[in-house]
A and B are shown apart, each in its own frame.
Chain A
Amino acid sequence: MSKKINRRSLLKGMLGGATVSLGLPMLNLFLNENGNAYADGSTIPTRFGTYFWGLGLTDTPAGGTRWVPQKTGFDYEITPELEAIAALKNKVSVFSGFRAIPDTRPNLVHWSGHASILSGVAPAASGRFDGATLDTKVADAIGGSTRFKVLDIDASVSRRPVSYSTRTGSTFASPDQSPLALYQRLFGEGFQDPNSENWAPDPAIMLRQSVLSAVTDQRHSLMRSVGHEDQIKLEQYFTSLREMENQLAVQLQRPEPRDACVLPRSPSELERAGSVDVVNSNTRVMARLLAMGLACDQSRVFNFVHTGGTSETYIAGQSKIYHQITHDEPTHAQLGYQPETSKLAGLVMEGFGAFLEELDAIKEGSGTLLDNCLVLAFSDTGYAKIHSLENIPMMLAGGAGGRHKAGQHIHAPGESVTRVSLTAMQLAGAPAGEFGTGSMRTARAVSDVIA
């Protein structure tokens, strides 16, 4: 019996060590050539995230637009619906004209657009994707050494949790939906202050590891007799289990000091209303917590949802929701566009502006946290009134540790959205040579924005 204990203890020690050392070589992936580093010389990692908002931005039936700048390249002009990013436009590249191409697949309204951007495939049916989303690929590459491989956040105050991150195509991530939940996840039990001087490993964590290894031991016998679909599900289960193992292994390591990391105060409970002002203030509070979570190196990859695809947000006191307005509102005869819709689009973009401000507010190295992030921001649709898959607004924000030549407007009508997706993956440090299927398959990143 005692032999068994020792053998297992030995195994435990070795596996624990192995998990830890696995994370370390990956650091090379995001070493940047600009030498962006902490005061003590250690490298600042690049973080990657997605930011989603629903219902696109406004085009006009006559072929005009409320958001695409006239000027391409650097120093593009600020259009009405981009007002919210004006202060940070040098850190944001705007991509216009890109489209999702479903080939023989239908245009699933409020679904095919972002499914194409994230998975590279136009899905066969709503509610599912036909491939894993790109954030999981980036997380596999750069997310292994932190406590949370990915943080999923939903600020939309919707009826159901909104997440578009999936490994299987059917099970989507379960996001934190309130500032309090996000705070507790990041800074509650299990948080280790990287700047604490009296750090010691918690022996209880080692015991927890044995809980998981007893489960993993049985993996093979379970997987032997399952069909394809169940196999995919169970693989996802074991992937999640491994992330938990990794989380425990990380907690057994002394964290590297992080200058910018300051434990935030617990936020108060959220007001349960879905109006755009509430969603925006929620976005700001959750972005602030996320930013500190990144600064404290609790995670390096995130998915942030402002509003879902068929956005239910509204202007407080107005009986119609944004989604209805995009379809019902006529084009104004003199203005040539839908004024209410465009106003709401502008308000929704204020959420993105607030989000970026929070990432930019944290000083890191010689710049800000945003300079060390790469955020792929996008929506489900182009011109929402007609469920257009053309001209879906996409942006890349943040410097990616110096690799993103930010602050440009790239206009490429008819090009596949997956080119921007691929660009984002490469800037984030994922080993991706190509992305997408069918007409959306591409090996061409948008090289203009890559340093």
Chain B
Amino acid sequence: MKSARLFVLTLSVGVVLHVAAHSTVVIADDSTLATHKEPVVVAVRRLTEPQYRQSIEDIFGEDIQITGRFEPERREIGLLALGSATLSLTAAGFEQYFNLSLDISRQVFSEQMRHAVMPCAPASPAEFDRVCAEQFISTYGEQLFRRPLSSAEVEARLDAAALGTEQSGDFYTGLQLALSSMLTAPEYLFRIERAEPDPENADNWRLDAWSRASRLSYLFWNTSPDKELLAAARSGELHTENGLNAQVQRLSSSPRVQDGIQAFLVDMMQIDGFDSMIKDATIYPKFNQLVADSAQQQMIRTLVDLLVVKERDYREIFTSNETFLNRPLAAVYQVPFASSEEWAPYTFPDSAERSGIFSQIGFLSLYAHPGTSSPTIRGIKLHEIFLCEHTPEPPADVDFSSVVDSSAATSRERLLDHMSNPGCIVCHQRSDPPGLALEHFDGMGQLRKYENGQLIDVNADLFGNKFVGAQGLGQFLYNDPRASSCLVRNVYAYGAARMPGSAERPYINTQIERFAENGYRVPALFSQIALTPEFFNVVIPQGAQQNTNNVASAASAQ
């Protein structure tokens, strides 16, 4: 027991030395050697399920099957991207990722696949070939960790591979262990962003080149940096204006940018939770999982087509009646479906009252109860998603005892009955009106004009702004400047994993103006933000390093 402990101790000393040597390699510029500061971790963001899947596909090919349960994600200030920076891994989650890692490595080194993956061939498949193993680990380690591995990191995997080869008598079984260990490592499962002292100003910190590469790659493609991006990080090119320009140009002009922008839209518009949506079957007999999945697809297709493919004005998501339908959806929307394709473009007529992304059954059914609509929930979500206005938690001391059940026929009247209560009115006068404008859609988003035999009134009054129905709501949102500023802030927060601070307000305001000047085009906004030095700002977290100024900006040199 004692000797084992001793060994662990010497091993960790070895690790320290290796890393010290490694960090000087990362900082390419000689001038940085003058400073004694070491790189610090500024963000630890857990990979999302799509990012995990896409990274594996990009690195090992699309034949790899990934079957397993991923940890639930968490939304903070409206974005999963912000939540991902607060999440760790639970024991059950670790177990899942561990099993995934074993399963993926087994597939990578299967007879059929190993030749496509291996950068070299072992001297003998039955014996450990250190040189070849190291080549594999370094090559794929860099792609998985999004930076070169330290020699200690390589060494640890070589040990696992050697042990595995020895015990199994098979080189590839040994490498499976090495690969599994990289896939299980926090350096793969989390995006670990590091800052280093700025060589041009030793008091400042800047995001290191590898972390810059990751920010760009996940923003534009929602996956790990490819080899070209890693090369630009290695050469230091990414720290130069020209180098950054070239990479942003390359990433944004690739068809893959659709994946990146789509991932952002799905996050910001909260297009998730469809596979666990619950509707009461006796009240909504048309609801089933196929409808739910189709409704989700419809929202995504509509947004991507409008904003990425056609590059239209962002604000048209509130007014456009162009969409896509498949057969299950057509049945719910009660329109004929004649296409032989699975999905077909469709334009709703005015009488359908379907204009704006929020008038699709995806949004309407997601934000409703299992057996009824909910103007309140819809109103809260409209504010939160499109205007970045968060409704505070209901106060605990609201006197519900004075609330009496209403026997009124429509939800609207029942809600208005509650409006006489001063405790309720504070929040509900803000949350409810946009939702009331959508009351022509029931709890699963089906068009209706009557509720319990009574005609439904869809007039709404939001602090003096009057509008009627979904179309009126769409026009209101189209004209509301909060909508585009909300989008700009979200793009920044999504990429940088933090909401811009108050010091960055002038910067964000400039971005909002430029967004408008560019015709409110979302792809242009992505490039515009990625090209600003502020996109790579870092905040040194408390406790990471003493003697540092709190907010460091790469822009300070400008």
Task: Given A174-B93, A227-B543, A312-B370, check contact A211 B180 (CB 8 Å).
Answer: yes
Are A226 and B94 touching (Cβ within 8 A)? Answer: no
- Interface set, chain B 168-185, CB cutoff 8 A to A: 168, 173, 177-178, 180-181, 184-185
**Which residues of B pack against A, CB within 8 Å?**
1, 3-4, 7-8, 11-12, 15-16, 18-19, 38-44, 69, 71-72, 74, 86-96, 98, 101-102, 128, 130, 150, 152-153, 156-157, 159-160, 162-164, 166-168, 173, 177-178, 180-181, 184-187, 189-190, 192, 194, 273, 276-278, 280-283, 289, 369-372, 393-394, 396-401, 403-405, 443, 540-545
B6 CB, min distance to chain A CBs, angstroms: 11
- Which of B8, B399, B542 lies in contact with A228, CB distance below 8 A? B542
Q: Does A370 contact B (CB under 8 A)?
A: no
A-B contact list, 7 entries, CB within 8 Å = A14-B1, A171-B90, A211-B177, A215-B156, A217-B12, A228-B543, A331-B401
- Which one of B87, B163, B396, B397 lies within 8 Å of A207 (CB-CB)? B163
Given A212-B181, A214-B157, A214-B178, verify A171-B92 contact (CB < 8 Å).
no
Let me know if A244 and B541 touch, CB within 8 A. Answer: no
| Residue among A4, A225, A243 making CB contact with B94, cutoff 8 Å | A243
Judged by a CB distance under 8 angstroms, whether A64 is at the interface is no
Q: Is the CB of B152 within 8 A of A217?
A: yes
B72 and A272 contact, CB distance less than 8 A: no
Closest to B18 in A: A221
Complex Cα gap A108–B471 (Å): 36
Indicate whether A5 sits within 8 Å of B278 (C-beta atoms), given known contacts A174-B72, A211-B181, A241-B94: no
| Nearest CB in chain A to that of B396: its residue | A107
- The answer to whether the Cβ of A26 comes within 8 Å of any Cβ in the partner chain is no
Determine whether the beta carbon of B95 is less than 8 Å from that of A234: no
- Would you call B283 and A319 a contact (CB within 8 A)? yes
Tell me whether A221 and B87 are in contact in the complex, defined as CB-CB below 8 angstroms, given that A18-B4, A386-B401 are known contacts: no
Q: Count chain B CB atoms within 10 A of each CB in A4, A237, A274, A317 and give the residue with the most.
A: A237
Task: Give the contacting residue for A174; candidates B18, B90, B156, B404; CB below 8 A.
Answer: B90
- Knowing A207-B168, A237-B88, the reply to whether A214 touches B280 (Cβ < 8 A) is no
A residues 42-57 with Cβ under 8 Å of B? none
Whether A347 is near chain B, meaning CB under 8 Å from some CB there, is: no
Complex-state Cα separation, A331 to B430, whole angstroms: 28
User: For window 163-198 of chain A, which residues contact chain B by CB distance below 8 Å?
Assistant: 168, 170-176, 181, 185
B74 touches A170 (CB 8 A): yes
CB distance from B2 to the nearest CB of A (A): 10
Provide the residues of chain B in CB contact with A203, threshold 8 Å. Answer: 167
- Known contacts A126-B393, A213-B160, A234-B44; A149/B91 CB under 8 A: yes
Q: What B residues does A210 contact at CB under 8 A?
A: 159-160, 163-164, 177, 181
Contact digits for A12-25, partner B, Cβ 8 Å, 1 yes 0 no = 10110010000000
Contact A218/B87 with A5-B162, A208-B102 known, Cβ cut-off 8 Å: no
Find A175's partner among B92, B95, B156 (CB 8 Å cutoff). Answer: B92
Could you say which residues of chain B place their CB within 8 Å of the CB of A14? 1, 3-4
Most buried by A among B16, B166, B542: B166
| Shortest CB distance A64–B (Å) | 14
Do the beta carbons of B15 and A220 come within 8 Å of each other?
Answer: yes
In the bound complex, do residue B162 and residue A152 qualify as a contact, i.e. CB atoms below 8 Å apart?
A: no
Q: Which residues of B contact A243 (CB under 8 A)?
A: 91, 94-95
Q: Is the CB of A240 within 8 A of B282?
A: no
Convert A306-320 into 0s and 1s, putting 1 for each residue whose CB lies closer than 8 angstroms to a CB of B.
Answer: 000000101011111
Q: Is the CB of B16 within 8 A of A61?
A: no
Contacts of B96 in A (CB 8 A): 174
Q: A274: which B residues are within 8 A, CB to CB? A: 278, 370
Chain A residue nearest in CB terms to B545: A225
Contact of A314 with B280 at beta-carbon distance under 8 Å, contacts A214-B178, A239-B91 already known: yes
Sample of 7 further A-B pairs with CB below 8 A, known A211-B184, A214-B156, A385-B401: A14-B4, A176-B92, A211-B98, A225-B40, A227-B542, A319-B372, A319-B443
In the complex, whether A329 has a CB less than 8 A from a CB of chain B is: yes
A225 close to B91 (CB less than 8 A):
no
In the complex, what distance in Å separates the CA atom of A423 from the CA atom of B43? 40
Are A217 and B11 touching (Cβ within 8 A)? yes
Asked if A158 is an interface residue, CB under 8 A from chain B, the answer is yes
What separation, in Å, do the CA atoms of A230 and B193 have in the docked complex?
A: 11
Chain A residues with CB below 8 A from B101, complex form: 211
In the complex, are the beta carbons of A159 and B167 less than 8 A apart? no
Q: Is the CB of A215 within 8 A of B185?
A: yes
Bound Cα distance from A440 to B399, whole angstroms: 26
Report A319 CB to chain B, min CB distance, Å: 4
Q: Is A327 an interface residue (CB 8 A)?
A: yes
B residues near A207, Cβ cutoff 8 Å: 163-164, 167-168, 173, 177
Q: Which residues of B contact A9 (CB under 8 A)?
A: 163, 166
Known contacts A175-B92, A208-B102; A109/B396 CB under 8 A: yes
| Contact of A273 with B by CB under 8 A | yes
Instruction: Pick the contact of B403: A211, A314, A328 (CB < 8 A).
Output: A328
Interface pair B404/A171, CB less than 8 Å apart: no
The answer to whether A446 has its CB under 8 Å from any CB of chain B is no
User: Across the interface, do A173 and B92 meet the contact criterion of CB distance under 8 Å?
Assistant: yes
Interface size on A, residues (CB 8 A): 95
Closest chain-A Cβ to B413's Cβ sits at a distance in Å of 14
Partner of B12, one of A185, A220, A232, A239: A220
Most buried by A among B89, B96, B178, B282: B89
Asked if A257 is at the interface of the complex by the 8 Å CB criterion, the answer is no
Question: In the complex, are the beta carbons of A240 and B89 less than 8 A apart?
Answer: yes
A-B CB proximity, top 4 nearest: A227-B541, A107-B396, A240-B94, A319-B371
Residues A1-42 near B (CB distance < 8 A): 1, 4-5, 7-12, 14-15, 18
Verify if A439 is at the interface (C-beta below 8 Å from B). no
Chain A proximity of B230: nearest CB distance (Å): 20
Q: Are A109 and B128 in contact (CB under 8 A)?
A: no
Nearest A residue (CB) for B163 = A210
> Given A15-B4, A157-B278, are A174 and B544 neighbors across the interface (CB < 8 Å)?
no
Q: Once the chains bind, are A8 and B400 in contact (CB under 8 Å)?
A: no
How far, in whole Å, are A222 and B152 apart by their CA atoms in the complex? Answer: 12
Confirm or deny: A261 has a beta carbon within 8 angstroms of a beta carbon on chain B: no
**A368 part of interface (Cβ distance < 8 Å):** no
Instruction: Please indicate the chain B residues that have their CB under 8 angstroms from the CB of A417 in the complex.
Output: none
Partner of B159, one of A214, A227, A236: A214
In Å, the complex CA distance between A244 and B99 comes to 10
Which residues of B are found within 8 Å of A385, using beta-carbon distances? 400-401
A225 to B280, CA, bound (A): 51
Contact, CB under 8 Å: B541 / A229 = yes
- Residues from chain A with Cβ under 8 Å of B94 in the complex: 237, 240-241, 243-244
Cα A39 to Cα B544 with chains together (Å): 56
A414 lies within 8 A of chain B by Cβ = no
**Which residue from B19, B156, B405, B541 sits with its C-beta under 8 Å from A328?**
B405
What separation, in Å, do the CA atoms of A323 and B128 have in the docked complex? 62
Q: Tell me the smallest distance from the CB of A233 to a CB of chain B, in Å.
A: 4
Q: A176–B350 Cα gap in the complex (Å)?
A: 45
Whether A161 sits at the interface, judged by CB under 8 Å, is yes
- Chain B residues within an 8 Å CB radius of A438: none
A240 & B156 in contact (Cβ 8 Å cutoff) = no
Question: Known: A7-B7, A8-B159, A174-B71. Contact between A221 and B90, CB under 8 A?
Answer: no
Does B41 lie within 8 Å of A233, measured CB to CB?
no
With both beta carbons as reference points, the residue of chain B lying nearest to A208 in the complex is identified as B102
Asked if A240 and B90 make an inter-chain contact with CB atoms under 8 angstroms apart, the answer reads yes
Q: A240 to B186: give the CA distance in the assembly, Å.
A: 12
With A107-B396, A211-B181, A237-B186 in contact, is A320–B90 under 8 Å at CB? no
CB neighbours of B42 from chain A (8 A): 227
Which among B159, B180, B540 has the highest number of chain A CB atoms within 10 Å?
Answer: B159
A273 in complex: contacting residue of B72, B168, B281, CB < 8 Å: B281
Whether A181 pairs with B186 at a CB distance below 8 angstroms is no
Please determine whether B88 and A236 come into contact, CB atoms closer than 8 angstroms: yes
CB-defined contacts of B166 to chain A, threshold 8 Å: 5, 9
Which of chain B's residues have a CB closer than 8 A to the CB of A318? Answer: 280, 371
Residue among B18, B69, B153, B371 with the highest chain A CB neighbour number at 10 A: B371
